[in-house]
Amino acid sequence: MTDIDSTHPDSTRPETRAVHAGREDFIALGIHAPPIDLSTTYPVADLAAGTASFDALVGGDASARNPIYARLHNPTVARVERALATLEGTEACVAYASGMAAITALLLASRARGAHMLVVRPLYGTSDHLFASGLAGLEAEFVEAHEVAARRRPDTALIFIETPANPTLDLVDIRAVVAAAGDVPVAVDSTFATPILQRPFELGASYVVHSATKFLGGHGDVIAGIVCCSEANAKPLRQVRAATGGLLHPLAAYLLHRGLPTLALRVERAQANAIELARRLAAHPAVECVFFPGHGTVRNAHLATTQMRGPGCLIAFELRDGYIAAARTMQRVALMTPAVSLGSVDTLIQHPAGLTHRVLDDATRDRCGITPGLLRLSVGIEHVDDLWADLEQALRQDSVVVREAA
């Protein structure tokens, strides 16, 4: 077992870091709960010092003597950024008002390196839509992971992968993609895994992206996004944030930080529930197939025990009767919540083809395995027997008339 130096937060285990990260100065401050700063502006008593602070923050520095204006810097946001960087093992973290704001900023910052990006599908539907639209100024080329080396161009600015993938839970070998990428930065959307189960930066990724709305927030009351990376890569991200106004609100930062101490507990409990629910779903007569890294039913499932520390907390499953059965199941659940999003303490069930991935065209959904009968389950921390009882009654095959979506 590796020796742990408890005096250095970065050397402790993830479960400990989740509790203590961003709180290292509490004793010196004489506090026990994270402070919150809601100021929108800060007094400038010394104009020369204020001007220097303005230049530093607009230039992408992490801090300055005077925050000047909350769009440029907020102490509460900076505190949770330090905590999340510690969790991911990076020098820096840049927080945004949503996961999509974080990804957009990453694309905009990447334009200085070139005009082309490679993207491995499947991934979150809105991310896919943003990339395909070219709205952020990069030409997105969608490839398989094994094609990265061959499809890389001199003007390729970024390679983007999501693992586990939304919604099919396919896994992508981060080390292999990094090796194929050469000197092109690799960004990994690690939302489904969390820093508890996967640390892409340690595997060579340049950027680690999270929709912090999900597991990191964990309670369905925060919308946030983060990019963890080196300090050098963080500076352009902060410049984009300062110019576009995408800063995370300090109240959201406070709530995000407050939720981190229970992150490991939530993930471990939800993962244990997911393992059992996946087993029971696989044996249910209404279910055609269960997609779960712990079952070997997703691409590169072996990575769940090598690249990851477990199979995670999400399950996708295909119903034999297709769309009708999927809609009926969502209509019938009573304990689970039929809603998009994931990573909350309660269990959510949703229909990717009709909701999160509705923005994709039919051909793309088909190629990614997002069928009319596919449901995605984000497993919460409730008692597993109660969750199964709810799901089992919802899967009953007696007739309920449901109109198929156009």
Catalytic residues: 71, 124, 189, 214
Beta strands 348-350 and 374-378 are: antiparallel
Beta-strand ranges (E) seen in 98-235 are 116-120, 139-143, 156-162, 186-189, 207-211, 225-229
C-alpha R_g of the chain: 22
The DSSP bridge partners found for residue 140 are 117
59 token code pair: 């230039």
For residues 128 and 360, is the Cβ–Cβ distance under 8 A? Answer: yes
**Cα 247 to Cα 242: distance, rounded to the nearest angstrom:** 7
**Cα 152 to Cα 146: distance, rounded to the nearest angstrom:** 11
The DSSP bridge partners found for residue 119 are 142, 160
For residues 192 and 150, is the Cβ–Cβ distance under 8 A? Answer: no
Instruction: Give CA torsion, residues 360, 363, 369, 373, to 10 deg.
Output: 80
**Cα 374 to Cα 365: distance, rounded to the nearest angstrom:** 11
